[in-house]
Structure 1
Amino acid sequence: MSDALINGLAGAGGGIIAQLITYPLQTVNTRQQTERDPKNEKKNLGTLQQMCQVVKNEGWERLYGGLTPSLVGTATSQGVYYYFYQIFRHKAEVAALQQKMLGVGDGSVGMLSSLIVAALSGCVNVLLTNPIWLVVTRMQTHRKDSSKALSGQKLSDATEQTTLSAVERPPYGTSNVVQEVYQEAGVLGFWKGVLPTLIMVSNPSIQFMLYETILGKLKKRRAQSKTGSNGVTAVEIFLLGAVAKLGATVVTYPLLVVKSRLQARQAKDGDKKQQYKGTLDAIIKMIRYEGFYGFYKGMGTKIVQSVLAAAVLFMVKEELVNKIRSLLAKGASNNVKRKLM
């Protein structure tokens, strides 16, 4: 099994576990990002308060709305990303060694090369998985959008409960979203928000650049110590992943908000200021009607969710990589013993 495949499988496994742990935070954050009414009282609620409100009004299951396609997307994204990251990383390492033989550099992959490797891997990942994340965004925001359709309407007590039940709890699965998006914009509709998402490739690029740089320096310092060991513990990997993701999230968060706005269902008969024709139109309208605050809605929630998810991901991935390599080495050793017997 190739090292790229090992890292791809480990990344997928780590991504699934991180997603399961942090998904309720992700759902609340998506709703915060796509809230377009600056006067909405929900903006004054904290993350835990909003989670409690969702549970109270819509049930526990809504915190996990879109979980199935999200898990598919996470496994696919992490698998694709780590697979291509390892391939591009290997090519960068080979190029660095060739440069060293020519008397240029020390043979290690520099920060710029690490950034380029992460960016290329991210671009491949975005282009292949954007339709999945569009479906997830629609499902995470579906209930809120549906309930908003009733705002301002005066319903009689006799019909209010029936109407709310019919509107707020329709069957709305992956197939419904796919049909809805296709009817809106055809096949290209599944790549809504792809431009800001491609620009957001800088997020994992910055994240992995910081992670690899700090990890490399830590291992080098350990190797130069008296013990001569360059091993890194799972807890240290957890903390390194958290620090790297924190830095990347702060820089790129506004792009994430724009992407979520574009991927959420557009109000067909609503206020024009809440309808976006594209990335530039969304940015202009957000600045005009919401100010720069709009680009940072839910940032606190996102930092907690992203940092926790990234930390868990890195920790689990490294452990899985070590376990898989250990099992493969053990299997190879047993095969050699059988042949000798």
Structure 2
Amino acid sequence: MSDALINGLAGAGGGIIAQLITYPLQTVNTRQQTERDPKKARRKRHGTIEQMCQVVKQEGWGRLYGGLAPSLVGTAASQGVYYYFYQIFRNRAEVAALDRWKNGIGDGSVGMLSSLLVAAMAGCVNVLFTNPIWVVVTRMQTHTKALKKIEPCQTPSIVADDALQIVAIEPPPYGTSHAVQEVYNEAGFWGFWKGVLPTLIMVSNPSIQFMLYETMLKQLKERRTLSKKATKGVTALEVFLLGAVAKLGATVVTYPLLVVKSRLQAKQVKGGDKMHHYKGTLDAIAKMIHYEGLSGFYKGMSTKIMQSVLAAAVLFMVKEEIVKAVRLLIMKDASLINKVRSKPP
């Protein structure tokens, strides 16, 4: 089994576990990002936990996990594709660095700029392959039950005459096939690549994340090697913390692009107020600045930091542990095969 395939499968496994743990936070965050009415957003300005409780109260537990199935498919595909191509590009970068070192250039290691380029290339391949999945996931996360005010029973002993009740109208079942059909009806085949431009620019997020992670990991290993108390390797907890710090830095820098991407992938409201319909990336940015100001680009940022940092930390930790376990199994199998071959007939 190639190193790239091991990393791809490990990345997919780690991504699935991280997604299962943090998915309710992701659903709330997507709703925060796609709320386009500033007045309504101010009225709904609650903490993350409060908003989760509100969704459960009004729509049930299931809505926190809306789109989980395609999201798990998307996560497995995204992380698998990303880590597979990342390792391929990384291996080529390492070979190129060694060649330069042999010619008297550099120290033989992959530098920060090369690490950034490798991560960006892997990210672009990943985006082009998996964007349709995330369009469907966004639609399912932002699909809500309709709320309607109704007149209550006129019996005074039950409720005051001037009171109103707000109830959730149970919508028809809304699954993956409904989301796919909705996207296709709205924008045709290319509708599944809505938001691909800001998403491609968002490649800088994992690129920055991996650059920070690889740099910090390299420094930690160098200190560990020079230290008198050197151990066999980096622990799972250290990988968890490095992954969290790297993701935090990347998220803070690139969050506005994530909001624009979510707006484009959510259901477009045609007719009525033009602020609710975006023709493209530049149109979305212009309307957000005009109607919401710069603060609109940072809606739900605290929730996203909580979700993405936790998810990235879990992913890095689980992925590294899976890679170690698979490599150990391969080494054991190879050792057993060598023993069998070495026995005299």
- TM-score above 0.5: yes
The reply on whether 1:14 has 2:14 as its aligned counterpart is yes
| Aligned-partner Cα distance in 1 for 2:106–2:177 | 53
Relative distance call for 1:245 and 1:194 in structure 2 (3 A) is same
Structure 1 regions of 5+ residues with no counterpart? none
Q: Residue 33 of structure 2 aligns with which residue?
A: 33
Q: Which has the larger radius of gyration?
A: 2
Partner of 2:83: 82
Deviation readout 1:241-263 (Å, 9 max, x if unpaired)? 00000000000000000000000
Residue type matched to 1:68 in 2?
A
Could you say which residue in structure 1 is the equivalent of 2:101? 100
Counterparts of 2:37 and 2:230, CA distance in 1? 58
> 1:169: Cα distance to partner?
2.6
Q: Which residue of 2 aligns with 1:270?
A: 272
Deviation at 1:63, TM superposition (A): 0.5
Deviation (angstroms), 1:44? 1.6
CA distance in 2, matches of 1:94, 1:270: 57
CA separation of 1:255 and 1:140: change in aligned 2, threshold 3 A: same
Report the equivalent of 2:322.
320
Kindly state the Cα deviation for residue 335 of structure 1 after the two structures are TM-superposed. 2.0
CA contact under 8 A between 1:28 and 1:47: conserved in structure 2?
yes
Specify whether residues 42 and 337 from structure 1 end up closer, same or farther in structure 2 by C-alpha distance, changes over 3 A only: farther
* Counterparts of 1:251 and 1:172, CA distance in 2: 35
Matched, 1:301 2:303: yes
Counterpart in the other structure of 1:188: 190
Determine if contact 2:123/2:203 at 8 Å carries over to the other structure: yes
Distance 1:77 1:42, change over 3 A: farther
Question: Residue 208 of structure 2: which of 203, 206, 215 is its match?
Answer: 206
Shift of 1:321: 0.3
Corresponding residue of 1:332: 334
Larger helix percent: 1
Which residue of the partner structure matches residue 45 of structure 1? 46
Q: Which residue is 1:286 aligned to?
A: 288
What corresponds to 2:92 in structure 1? 91
C-alpha deviation, 1:135, in angstroms = 0.4
- Which range is displaced more, 37-46 or 326-335? 37-46
CA distance in 2, matches of 1:49, 1:12: 31
Identity, % of aligned positions: 75
AA aligned to 2:32 is Q
Question: Residue type of the partner of 1:307?
Answer: V
- 2:256, 2:297 within 8 Å by CA — same for their partners in 1? yes
Paired AA for residue 29 in structure 1: N
Deviations 1:301-331 (A, max 9, x none): 0000000000000000000000000111111
Cα distance between partner residues in 2 of 1:44 and 1:156: 27
Aligned equivalents of 2:341, 2:46: Cα separation in 1: 66
Amino acid at match of 1:19: Q
* Structure 2 spans left out of the alignment, 5+ residues: 154-163
Residues 44-66 of structure 1, C-alpha deviation per residue, up to 9 Å, x if partnerless?
21100000000000111110000
Count, aligned residues: 332
- C-alpha offsets along residues 259-299 of structure 1, whole Å, 9 cap, x if unaligned? 00000001123311110000000000000000001000000
CA RMSD between the two structures: 1.7
Distance (Å, rounded) in 2 between the aligned partners of 1:331 and 1:54: 50
Equivalent runs, 1:162-241 vs 2, <5 Å: 164-165=168-169, 168-229=170-231, 231-241=233-243
**Partner AA of 1:126 in structure 2:** V
Give the structure-2-normalised TM-score.
0.93
CA distance in 1, matches of 2:289, 2:250: 23
CA distance in 2, matches of 1:330, 1:195: 46
Question: Which residue in the other structure is 1:131 paired with?
Answer: 132
Output the CA distance in 1 between the equivalents of 2:89 and 2:43.
Answer: 44
AA matched with 2:29: N
* Counterpart-to-counterpart distance in 2, 1:337 and 1:199: 52
Question: 1:209-255 deviations in whole A, cap 9, x for unaligned?
Answer: 00000000110111111245461111000000000000000000000
Change in CA separation of 1:130 and 1:122 when aligned onto 2, cut-off 3 Å: same
**Equivalence map 1:119-158=2 (5 Å):** 119-143=120-144, 146-147=145-146, 155-157=150-152
The answer (yes or no) to whether the contact 1:219–1:230 under 8 Å persists in 2 is no
- Post-superposition offset of 1:132: 0.3
Q: Does the Cα contact within 8 Å between 2:146 and 2:171 map onto a contact in 1?
A: no
Do residues 60 (structure 1) and 67 (structure 2) align? no
- Given that 1:29 and 1:302 are in contact with CA atoms closer than 8 Å, whether structure 2 keeps it comes out as yes
TM-fit CA distance, 1:340: 3.3
Q: Is the 8 A contact 1:32 1:43 kept in 2?
A: no
